[in-house]
Structure 1
Amino acid sequence: MLKWVDKLFHVETINNRRTDIQLKDNQKIYSSTQADVIYSKELGLAKTLFKENKAAKKNALAEYLPHSETKFTLISIAYSFVRSLMFIYKYKMIKKYIYKKSKVLDFGSGTGDFLRYFKRKGHKVYGVEPNKLAREISKKKGIISLPDIKKLKETKFQAITMWHVLEHLPEPSKTVKSFHKILDKEGILIIAVPNLESFDSLHYKNLWAALDIPKHLWHFTSNGLIKIVETQGFKLAKIFPLWFDTLYISYLSEKNRSNQFPLLFGLFKGLYFNFKSFRTRNYSSLAFVFKKTTL
């Protein structure tokens, strides 16, 4: 029924969910003068391997501000509006697992907007954010965040969230393990990451914007992420799609292609990828809810 769309926009299609049949072991899914990205079938993830390029490594570890705090353009305004809608969605995602006045920790809290929304809902909020300028902006909004998780005085949280942060960290397993210690007995951990098995990833290949080299050190499949987190004393409870991410990533990917109309093509393809994902659940980004278990 939608073959004409595939042909018009040169969209690749697959009949079943993208699995390791498409992603081969030791497959090089990205290569540049800065780094290679190599996929491991056993681990269900890909890793960014830097070449002898000090500038690339420095860029990967550099602190940066969220998109909405930079320039006031049409895209940034739209991004901020959508992000506000996503706060509502994220709250509905989490509220069934926590109670009133729960302690919520956002790891990689940025400029504090997510925590400010939760604070208005009556929860006690805490943030960890390495970027000094972001912490200062957050403080002006009434949200205090700390530069390091070790500086937290609170030891038991009902919820810990990570929104597109884990892929930036050198040691994701070690970070997840540290969360297990400070979560309440019935606490939850929510991790949102780009989905390496998504339709837009398959379509754009090495130009897929969510690869974000050199800032993203890891690139997860669903099974790969679940394996890492469950090994550290958690059990998957539910997976939520992040629909708007598909639109934004498709737009950025079209820019990577030097498309003259990246917004038009990106939005159209993003909507199409979301439509196809209703069956496979392979959206561009996914949010995973994990419950704490005993190690």
Structure 2
Amino acid sequence: MMKPDVTKFFDEPTNTFSYVVADPETKKCAVVDSVLNFDPNSGRTSKTGADEIIAFVREQGLSVEWVLETHVHADHLSAAPYIQEALGGRLGIGDQITVVQDTFGKLFNAGSEFERDGSQFDVLFKDGDAFSVGNIKAHVLHTPGHTPACMTYVIGDAGFVGDTLFMPDYGTARCDFPGGDAATLFASVRKIFALPDETRLFMCHDYKAPGRDTYAWETTVAEEKAHNIHVHTGVSVDEFVGWRTSRDKTLDMPRLILPSVQVNMRAGHLPPAEDNGTRYLKIPLDAL
């Protein structure tokens, strides 16, 4: 397998990793899971993290072919439209985005002007779809369970797993969001485990597992299969579903879930301005 250059960018307030994935031969690249900075106390957005990515791409002489989202994130706002406007590229996500848009479009009473057909994105990937970054072949795995639209992008020897997996000492994603399902997540993990053992896996988040003082973002299929505390080889689906379901019942909702989903279901675009020229994010009361 060809080996892309992978450069990580970390947003500590949301514990999110974004990546620039580049073909060193052609200098073509993809940007994966970018972050729009958001202060929930003031309602202000900023583009500090996205500007860092843009500066890096320009300094390295790279050309963006893809701006990729692994799923509709519930913990940070996407900067995909800002990245795309500055650098170009096609914006892609899994085709089950339509399920997420329908569910949350109703929750936020988004109205008929909010299209629920995924048309805010340029490409809606299906399981098994192939694409390329420069001369590096890539393909897509549909890996639902955390959300219905979760995708893993395998670019050369590098897999970008979104929230499906965390580092081996931290485990797996929660499955209690609308459309989530623990048994489905288990099957998705097994699809990732079917990749070659040497496949590099890049996390979307890290929260420092107990006993670990530094952030970590890269592992391999072999390491996950051997050591993932929730789904290592030998764990049964029943064992995992029982533990994951019990664990999820104890978890609070992510701090930024309400602003994040409203923006990310729109491909990172903020809600349209109202008649006073101001944009608003809604907080549905007693609905979640």
TM-score normalized by the length of structure 2 = 0.34
Greater fraction helix: 1
Asked which structure has the greater CA Rg, the reply is 1
TM-score, with structure 1 as normaliser? 0.33
